[in-house]
Amino acid sequence: MRNVIFILMVFGAMQVQAQDAVHGKAVYEHWCSPCHAPGGRKHPGTSALEIIYKGEKPAVLEERLDLTPELVAAFVRNGVKIMPPFRKTEISDKDLADLGAYLSPR
Ligand code: HEC
């Protein structure tokens, strides 16, 4: 029984590491860059975050050091103001986990 529990724990740890930040970057570029790429004039997400944070935090999500997978997931699934919520048919749970890994500081 102990061995089974050990194997389950190892498997669980492997799943945590299985997030693929390279794929997360592709998800980001497809779904998020149109609003969050550098250059506030052309990108409403960057523009809004420039105004909200006034330089206290980077306006570009990829430069942030305080994002966690949980925070990213909350915004992606719920949306905020003009940012739409993304459905699982658009961004799957796996895509979202990879996206969270990509945007969280390493
Ligand atoms: C249609 C444009 C648009 C798209 C697409 C978009 N966002 Fe946003 N996002 C925004 C705007 C605008 C805000 C700021 C909202 C506000 O005024 O609070 C925002 C805010 C956020 C925030 C909150 C940051 C903070 O500190 O308050 C996160 C996190 C975020 N977006 C992540 C994402 C991710 C990840 C994606 C891709 C899956 C994405 N967004 C796609 C427009 C967008």
- Which ranges in the chain belong to alpha helices (H)? 2-17, 21-31, 33-36, 44-53, 69-78, 93-103
Q: Domain segments of the chain: what residues?
A: 20-103
Q: State whether the beta carbon of 7 lies less than 6 angstroms from ligand 1.
A: no
Query: Does the domain at residues 20-103 carry the CATH identifier 3.30.450.40?
Result: no
Q: pLDDT-based confidence at 105, cuts 50/70/90?
A: confident
User: Which residue's CA is minimally distant from atom 37 of ligand 1?
Assistant: 32
pTM above 0.85, yes or no: yes
List, in sequence order, every residue forming a beta bridge with 83; answer none if it has no partner.
80
What mean pLDDT is reported for the chain?
90
User: pLDDT digit string (tens) for 8-40?
Assistant: 566 665 555 578 999 999 999 999 999 999 998
Q: State whether the beta carbon of 101 lies less than 6 angstroms from ligand 1.
A: no
- Between the CA of 23 and the centroid of ligand 1 the distance, in Å, is 19
User: Which residue's CA is minimally distant from atom 11 of ligand 1?
Assistant: 45
